[in-house]
């Protein structure tokens, strides 16, 4: 039995609620949303927003275009790695606490 990536997600073979973080846009979406927004095609390839070339998810993750996240702990690790990578590229970040009081 052969399934497309999309069919595997639709049938629950691949967890549709796993997260994909697009490093370039700083957007985090579920795998299902990534397919619906054409961030990932039905064959499971990342669609580069600039060149429209299709890259296997494993390669896109390895090269730092995206981070695949299966748990909250992995989410924190992925963000940390992305910040380190961007810092090494010369970007500077200022981490501040979020004021939830509305002031």
Q: How many residues does the chain have?
A: 103
d(CA 47, CA 65): 10
d(CA 65, CA 5): 19
pLDDT at 12: 85
| Domain residue ranges of the chain, discontinuous segments joined by + | 5-88
Structure tokens at 13: 């073979």
User: Would the pLDDT of 95 be above 90?
Assistant: no
The set of residues, in sequence order, having a beta carbon less than 8 Å from that of 1 and lying 6+ positions away, is none
Q: Which of 8-22, 61-75, 83-97 has the weakest average pLDDT?
A: 83-97
Q: Which residues, listed in sequence order, are joined to residue 92 by a DSSP beta bridge? A: none
User: Would the pLDDT of 71 be above 60?
Assistant: yes
Q: What is the pLDDT of residues 46-67, one digit of tens each?
A: 998 889 999 998 899 888 889 8
Q: What is the mean pLDDT of residues 72-95?
A: 72
């Amino acid at each position: 039995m052969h399934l497309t990536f999309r069919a595997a997600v639709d049938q629950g073979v691949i967890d549709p609620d796993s997260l994909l973080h697009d490093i370039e846009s700083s957007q985090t979406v579920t795998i299902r949303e990534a397919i619906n927004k054409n961030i990932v095609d039905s064959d499971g390839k990342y669609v580069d927003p600039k060149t429209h070339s299709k890259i296997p998810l494993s390669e896109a993750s390895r090269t730092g275009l995206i981070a695949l996240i299966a748990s909250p702990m992995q989410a924190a690790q992925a963000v940390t790695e992305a910040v380190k990578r961007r810092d090494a590229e010369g970007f500077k970040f200022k981490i501040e606490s979020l004021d939830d009081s509305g002031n």
